[in-house]
């Protein structure tokens, strides 16, 4: 068993909610103390003007271990405590309770510009970061040209960082963190900044770091990147560690949790379109008409779509798409030769029959589109419904079920020619 390099025991971080006081220099404090000394006592109790201060736990009772060489993803909704966890591990902030032990030289990429000084140049910040990591100037010199080339900031390396765009800062920060050979690398949403080409470079570099036997903790909302890089995944829900398992299981649980109805009892869909017709309900039903969330491979199903239009007798077409929990489209359903119309009360209800679902086992999401083909999109709903496809005895799979088998299967007929 490899060495434990990160050990967290009952970690918790609490923040105070309230008005942030303005920044004061020492001379301001001294001047105010002579002019109005009672203000010191009033300000000494934060939140006292509104009674007892209010607090919120960003993270609580989080315990886990990470071994040397592991690549671990961390997923969860916004506000689940992912960034707080990395900040505690990076010693940017102290935990309110519990403790975290980290063994080894650590590099972190938490936010744009974190650890950089805006008045220093890119060159100076690179050397400063290396010194903080405990590297000698000779080691940094050896990596310097590679860092600058990777970050694509050759022309601006001697320009103060405050003149860099957020994308340039992130590129340089990632290049420094990844190339200065930390034993543990903490990365928080590096793929949120930068163009597609640079995102691919980042993924490639993190893969290279992982293959070198170093430990990576990777926070991302990009489930495809989590699947590509990580051997293990942590799911944070409301500041608590809800699941520690293989990436495919954790991502499935995360997406199901993200699609849970809000406190008002409604699911918020991501949607676009002109709104001339709106989808109001999407349900997957089995061949007997019962609404379901699980189907066996090869089983018939119906997709029932309800909605309303801006007027009666509005003509439209319909399309649907199954995508994986990684966001990969796998099956497209389009009714090209039939137009539908809204009823006299402006509503519509449509059943789409799908014979013998040809998807491999896994969690899938259904996107639904209504509009005029090639002319106008009335409404496009993402993640309108979910379906968990499970293995069926009627569709034997002789190989182990794994994503590398593919996402769609097909019945074939084969004959031996000789």
**Helix ranges, 161-296 (H):** 166-179, 196-211, 223-229, 247-258
368 forms beta bridges with: 320, 381
**CATH code given to domain 270-405:** 2.70.50.60
**Contact (CB, 8 A) for 102 and 89:** yes
**Matching CATH number, 4-27+54-258, of 3.40.50.10140, 3.40.50.300, 2.60.120.260, 3.20.20.70:** 3.40.50.300
What is the Cα–Cα distance from 172 to 126, expressed in whole angstroms?
Answer: 8
pTM: 0.65
What is the Cα–Cα distance from 244 to 11, expressed in whole angstroms?
Answer: 16
- C-alpha dihedral (401, 403, 406, 412), degrees to nearest 10: 0
Domain chopping of the chain, boundaries: 4-27+54-258, 270-405
What is the Cα–Cα distance from 315 to 375, expressed in whole angstroms?
Answer: 12
**Contact (CB, 8 A) for 370 and 347:** no
CA 341 distance to own-chain centroid: 39
Nearest CA-CA partner of 387 in 324, 330, 306, 341: 324
CA 388 distance to own-chain centroid: 21
Q: Per-residue DSSP letters for 360-394?
A: PSEEEEEEEEEEETTTEEEEEEEEEEEEEEE--TT
pLDDT in tens, the chain (418 residues): 678 999 999 999 998 876 555 555 555 655 665 555 555 555 544 544 555 668 889 999 999 999 999 999 999 888 899 989 999 998 888 999 999 999 988 877 776 556 688 899 999 999 988 887 677 888 889 999 999 998 889 999 999 999 998 888 888 888 887 787 788 988 887 655 566 777 778 878 888 888 888 899 989 877 777 877 888 999 999 999 999 998 878 887 887 776 665 444 445 678 898 999 999 999 999 988 899 888 888 889 999 999 999 999 899 999 999 998 777 889 898 876 578 889 999 999 999 999 888 888 888 899 999 998 878 999 999 989 988 888 776 666 655 544 456 778 777 788 878 8
């Amino acid at each position: 068993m490899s060495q434990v390099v990160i050990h967290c025991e009952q970690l918790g971080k609490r923040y105070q909610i309230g008005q942030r006081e303005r920044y004061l220099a020492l001379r301001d404090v001294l001047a105010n103390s002579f002019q109005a000394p009672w203000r010191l006592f009033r300000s000494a109790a934060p939140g006292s003007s509104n009674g007892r201060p209010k607090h919120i736990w960003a993270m609580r009772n989080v315990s886990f271990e990470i071994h040397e060489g592991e690549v671990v993803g961390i997923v969860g909704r916004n506000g689940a405590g992912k960034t707080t966890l990395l900040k505690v591990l990076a010693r940017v902030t102290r935990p309110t309770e519990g403790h975290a032990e980290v063994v080894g030289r650590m590099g972190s990429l938490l936010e744009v510009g974190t650890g950089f000084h805006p008045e220093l140049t890119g060159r100076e910040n690179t050397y400063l970061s290396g010194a903080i990591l405990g590297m000698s100037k000779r080691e940094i010199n050896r990596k310097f040209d590679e860092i600058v080339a990777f970050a694509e900031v050759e022309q601006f390396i001697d320009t103060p960082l405050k003149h860099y765009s957020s994308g340039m800062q992130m590129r340089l920060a990632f290049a420094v963190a990844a190339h200065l050979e930390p034993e543990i690398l903490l990365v928080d949403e590096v793929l949120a900044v930068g163009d597609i080409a640079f995102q691919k470079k980042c993924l490639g570099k993190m893969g290279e770091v992982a293959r070198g036997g170093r430990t990576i903790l990777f926070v991302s909302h990009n489930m495809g990147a989590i699947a590509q890089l990580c051997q293990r995944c942590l799911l944070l829900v409301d500041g608590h560690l809800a699941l520690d398992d293989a990436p495919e299981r954790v991502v499935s649980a995360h997406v199901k949790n993200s699609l849970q109805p809000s406190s008002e009892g409604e699911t918020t869909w991501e949607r676009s379109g002109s709104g001339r017709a709106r989808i109001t309900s999407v349900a997957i039903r089995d061949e007997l008409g019962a609404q379901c969330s699980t189907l066996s491979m090869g089983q018939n199903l119906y997709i029932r779509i309800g909605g309303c239009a801006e007027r009666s007798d509005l003509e439209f077409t319909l399309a649907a798409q199954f995508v994986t929990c990684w966001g990969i489209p796998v099956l497209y359903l389009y009714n090209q030769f039939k137009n539908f119309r809204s009823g006299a009360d402006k509503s519509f209800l449509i059943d789409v029959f799908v014979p013998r679902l040809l998807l491999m086992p896994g969690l899938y999401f259904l996107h639904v589109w209504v509009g005029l083909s090639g002319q106008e999109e009335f409404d496009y709903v993402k993640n309108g419904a979910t379906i968990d496809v499970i293995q069926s005895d009627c569709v034997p799979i002789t190989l182990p079920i794994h994503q590398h088998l593919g996402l769609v299967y097909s019945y074939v007929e084969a004959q031996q020619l000789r």
